[in-house]
Amino acid sequence: MAEFVTACPRNCYSTCSFRVQVENNRIIRILPYSGNLATPEGPCIKGLSYIERTNSPERIIHPLIKTSTGKFEEISSNEAFDILSGKLNLIKEKWGSRSILWYRGSGMSGLTNEIGYSFWKAFGGTTITYGNLCWPAGLEAVRLTLGSVKHNVPWDLVNAKTIIIWGKNPAETNIQEIAFIAGAKEKGCRIIVIDPLRTATADKADMLFSPKPGTDGALALAVVKELIDNDLIDHEFIARHVKGFDELKQSLRISPDDAELITGIPSENIIELARIIGKSGPLTILPGYGLQRHKNGGQTIRSILLLSVLTGNIGKSGSGFNYANLQSYIFDNLREPLSYYPDPEKDIPFRRTISMAKLGSDMLSASDPELKAAWIERGNPVLQSPDTNNVIKAFSNLLFKVVVEQFMTDTAVMADIILPAKDMFEQSDIIGSYWSPYIQFKPKVIQSPGEVLPESEIYFHLSKKLNLKISNEIIPEPGNDNIEQWLEKKISGHPEIGLNRLIESPVLAPGLQQIAFEDLKFETPSGKIEIYSSEALVKWGISALPDYTAIIHTEEGKKYPLELITPNTGSRIHSQFGNLKIIKDTNTEPVVRISPVDANKRNIKTGQRIKVFNQNGGFISRVEISNRVPSGLVVIPNGIWFNEGGGANRLIAGEETDIGFGAVFHDYMVEIEEVD
């Protein structure tokens, strides 16, 4: 038996380190690794499930080709590469390489992912996407205000006296943070959750403010007004480090009474919240990503961020605005969110015209050339993109679809060729984290089953078949030694963290500020915290100041009475893990949840089959009535496969957030009715 230290590469805050035990080329045990101070107790249930996932009999381990009858048949890798090179060449000759959409999801992070970029560049460029489904509105909001996106190390949270968890549910999406929240609470910290739902995180809180979805900005601005009117702000901090305070003060229109009408939170509680924020520092705000998946998401995050800024809770221990911590992303040429934005000069030879948020309609309307093929890796856009009906239509219209996948996902079933994808233990890589400050090495510890090849090797073989002129330094030859050499070269710009050091243990990012902004330097145009941002106005056409815009539903949308929200849950990372037996066995998570009030109105009982629908589409699922859901809301977790009764994206139109090219998931009205 051998034991290795590795790190989970999923799109998740925690990016846990853990120890993995291997016997006879099988993962047999997953154990905590205490050397990572952010995740000392080890990974969550999803991390534990790798024991099944890697060895799963349902894993795709041979290339598959769709036959004329629509069924998949196994082919050898060599056959697959022959077919692929033939098809790709044909498509390129006939319509040009930009008729191919190269779609990358966030399924597995790692530096090796950029090898694909080199391949497609050498191929002549493709069409690629801009924006991101997850978090860019908030990233851009933080970047505009603070200049860079970072926060204190996770373990500093125990020094807070007030923690406001605003639209985040770490109990399910960042479970290791619960240990720090509990640690703070044991030291007398007050825990406030602001969330429409009584989440598992709210179970740990002292207070839960439950505003109507999409009104968080109004709540924040009313609290700001109350803070200023009652002089609960840090004048010295504002004078020295903040740009635009006077303009902000002039612009505030929303009183606690107004906010009561908008948010549903009584004004006396808004005043109470302002007193807590103004008087009980240090204050850390933990904003989530769900609340910026509204049309007004960017301005919402800018408004909430004001609370930290005006009370001087930036750059100190126990304080901060923990939206994301990109301090470990040192190897990226361009950090998020800037890397999401199209740049016609730099993007050559790629064409970057397809919005992630509007994937389906943008694919359908692409012209000169039209899209003819798609290559999809690390993603499941059929399930995860908004506007499912158009996405399916757009993919169906293509002549040729390649999907690199581990399991038969809702996207994989649409493929003409499926290439089996590696799991995390089957190739070495290096990963950062957007929460913890570690750079981590993820070693290869087992041989891939069947004919599974990592993308780097897929691209190597294809480039040979296509006679592309790419050096082995750019796309390394097969073999993990070559990938490790490639990694070593990739990180050579940072001699202080050589590969050998990374192999030993996770390494804190060079230049890390344990207390972010402790130097009170901000990489904004003015060098100050920019409450007033000219860039916001120029680049995005929004107000230079944070403001609140009510969500306005279309005439069609107004016909439906219930508001949809699609949060993430503890048993999946988007559409991953939910298919595993151990996850199904230990989670009886309902697909659709509604409040007792709305259930009674419709005479719906728990467990019943129901139809959820609106003008964009609908699907049939099972319902659970829950006291955790306030009336007027329908809760459908993100990432549930169609065959499990999922399909929230069928209800979602495909629109971009106010800033950052994010996707709107949360401004849709729906109705529910029972199915006979």
Partner 1 sequence: MRKGFIFNHNKCVNCNACNAACILENGWTVHPRNIFTFNSEAEHLFPIINLSLACNHCESAVCMEGCPASAYSRETVTGAILLDEMKCIGCRYCQWNCPYDAPKFNSENRTIAKCNLCYYGLIEGRQPACSSACPTGALKFGQLTETDSYMNYSWFPDKKLNPAIEFAGSDKNTPLKIIPEIIYEQIVPKPVIAGKNISNELSLIIFSFLSTLSVATVITCFIKGIFPDKMIFIPVILLAGMVSFFHLGRKLRSWRSVQNLKNSPLSREIAVLIVYAIASSATVFFHLPGFLVASSIIGLIFLLVIDSVYIYADYSRSVILHSGQTFVSALLIVSFFSGIVIPFVFIGSIKLLLSVYSLSVNKSNLADFGIRFLRIAFLVISGISMILNISNIYIFISSIFLIGELLDRIFFYIDFNPLNINTLIDEKLIIERDEKKRG
Nearer to partner 1, 264 or 478 (CB): 264
Among positive and negative, which fits the CA dihedral 452, 454, 457, 461?
Answer: positive
Q: To the nearest whole angstrom, how small is the minimum distance from the Cβ of residue 168 to partner 1?
A: 13
CA-CA distance, 368 to 505, in Å (whole number)? Answer: 50
Compute CA distances 344 → 104, 265, 351, whole Å.
19, 45, 8
Q: To the nearest whole angstrom, how small is the minimum distance from the Cβ of residue 193 to partner 1?
A: 8
Nearer to partner 1, 345 or 585 (CB): 585
Q: To the nearest whole angstrom, how small is the minimum distance from the Cβ of residue 630 to partner 1?
A: 4
Q: To the nearest whole angstrom, how small is the minimum distance from the Cβ of residue 2 to partner 1?
A: 16
Contact 547, 224 (CB under 8 A): no
Nearer to partner 1, 269 or 389 (CB): 269
CA atoms within 13 Å, Cβ hemisphere of 487: 29
Q: To the nearest whole angstrom, how small is the minimum distance from the Cβ of residue 272 to partner 1?
A: 9
**Rg (the chain; Cα; Å):** 25
CA angle 489, 492, 496 (to 5 degrees): 145
Q: To the nearest whole angstrom, how small is the minimum distance from the Cβ of residue 220 to partner 1?
A: 15
Q: To the nearest whole angstrom, how small is the minimum distance from the Cβ of residue 45 to partner 1?
A: 4
Nearer to partner 1, 185 or 465 (CB): 185
Nearer to partner 1, 367 or 627 (CB): 627
Nearer to partner 1, 36 or 614 (CB): 36
Three-state DSSP at 353 gives: strand
Widest CA span in the chain: 73
CA-CA distance, 369 to 365, in Å (whole number)? Answer: 10
Contact 189, 161 (CB under 8 A): yes
Nearer to partner 1, 84 or 424 (CB): 424
Nearer to partner 1, 52 or 426 (CB): 52
DSSP E strands, 449-559: 507-508, 529-530
Q: To the nearest whole angstrom, how small is the minimum distance from the Cβ of residue 594 to partner 1?
A: 11
CA-CA distance, 626 to 371, in Å (whole number)? Answer: 44
User: Which chain residues interact with partner 1 by CB under 8 A?
Assistant: 16, 29-32, 39-45, 47-49, 51-52, 171-172, 175-176, 178-179, 182, 185-186, 198, 200-210, 264-266, 269, 570-571, 582-583, 585-587, 595-597, 599-600, 606, 625-628, 630-632
The DSSP-derived string for 617-665 is EEEEEEEEE-TTS-TTEEE--TT--GGGT--GGGG----B-SSTT-B--
Q: To the nearest whole angstrom, how small is the minimum distance from the Cβ of residue 277 to partner 1?
A: 15
Q: Which candidate, 474, 488, 510, 494, places its Cα nearest to that of 430?
A: 488
User: What's the gap between Cα 567 and its chain centre?
Assistant: 11
Nearer to partner 1, 391 or 594 (CB): 594
Contact 57, 407 (CB under 8 A): no
Q: Write out the H or E segment, with its range, that includes residue 268.
A: helix 267-279
Dihedral pair phi/psi, residue 455, rounded to 5°: -55, -40
Q: To the nearest whole angstrom, how small is the minimum distance from the Cβ of residue 264 to partner 1?
A: 6
Nearer to partner 1, 210 or 549 (CB): 210
